[in-house]
Amino acid sequence: MSETIKNENSFIAYEYKEITVHRGIETLYADGYPSFGWKLDGTGLAMNLTSVNLKFKRNRRIQNKNELTKLQREFEVQAKNIEKLEDSKIIAPSVVAYSVGIVGTAFMAGSVFAFLASMIPLCIVLAIPAFVGWVVPYFAFLKVKQSKESKVTPIIDQQYDAIYELCEKANILLCD
């Protein structure tokens, strides 16, 4: 879709791009896309609460458009990698915490069935790991999250450095 705008001196035809990004990296796109000739035209809420729509426009007759588009694609790949790495900081710890919680719940179910069968000693024996299984997930989540963050943060920093290099290259092409 293109729209034309006339001003007193010249005619400018714009191309438009609308992208939906995770709120955590919204500023990365807002800061990076101008290096490829795009201007932020507006923002809006996406269908889910964790994303935002960014609307950009740029001159259709921009110089070095092919090279800028190639660098922009590389930028988008790097940004998606950052988003996946950021998500991995929460997904793995959540899986561990939920798994431990489910095991604790299974022990509690066994304890309840033992109680209903009037097997009080077995009920107590099963209740102890059940309560432990309900308390431990919080601490397991924190421990695994800390471990995952220490592994992933340097990789994310490398991705950001690569993005900044792409933006510098694109900005040089834009100024030519």
pLDDT by position in tens, the chain (length 176): 445 454 556 777 888 999 988 888 889 999 999 999 899 988 888 788 888 999 999 888 888 888 999 999 999 999 999 999 999 999 999 999 999 999 999 999 999 999 999 999 999 999 999 999 999 999 999 999 999 999 999 999 999 999 999 999 998 888 76
Verify that 119 and 45 share a domain, yes or no. no
Rounded-to-integer distance, Cα 58 and Cα 160, Å: 24
Verify that 54 and 68 share a domain, yes or no. no
Range of the domain at 3: 1-62
Verify that 127 and 98 share a domain, yes or no. yes
Please answer whether residues 53 and 18 qualify as being in contact, where contact means their C-beta atoms are separated by less than 8 angstroms. yes
Amino acid at 166: L
Q: Look at the chain and report how many structural domains it folds into.
A: 2
Of 132, 141, 130, 50, nearest in space to 95 by CA? 141
Verify that 29 and 7 share a domain, yes or no. yes
Verify that 53 and 92 share a domain, yes or no. no
Rounded-to-integer distance, Cα 3 and Cα 114, Å: 72
Verify that 113 and 175 share a domain, yes or no. yes
CB atoms within 10 A of CB 106: 14
Verify that 106 and 53 share a domain, yes or no. no
Point out the domain boundary residue: 62, 91, 110: 62
Verify that 25 and 81 share a domain, yes or no. no
DSSP characters over 137-153: HHHHHHHHHHHHHHHHH
Verify that 78 and 138 share a domain, yes or no. yes
Verify that 54 and 125 share a domain, yes or no. no
Instruction: Give burial (CB, 10 Å; 0-12/13-18/19+) of 42.
Output: exposed
Rounded-to-integer distance, Cα 116 and Cα 110, Å: 10
Verify that 83 and 170 share a domain, yes or no. yes
pTM of the model: 0.76
Point out the domain boundary residue: 62, 77, 111: 62
Verify that 50 and 11 share a domain, yes or no. yes
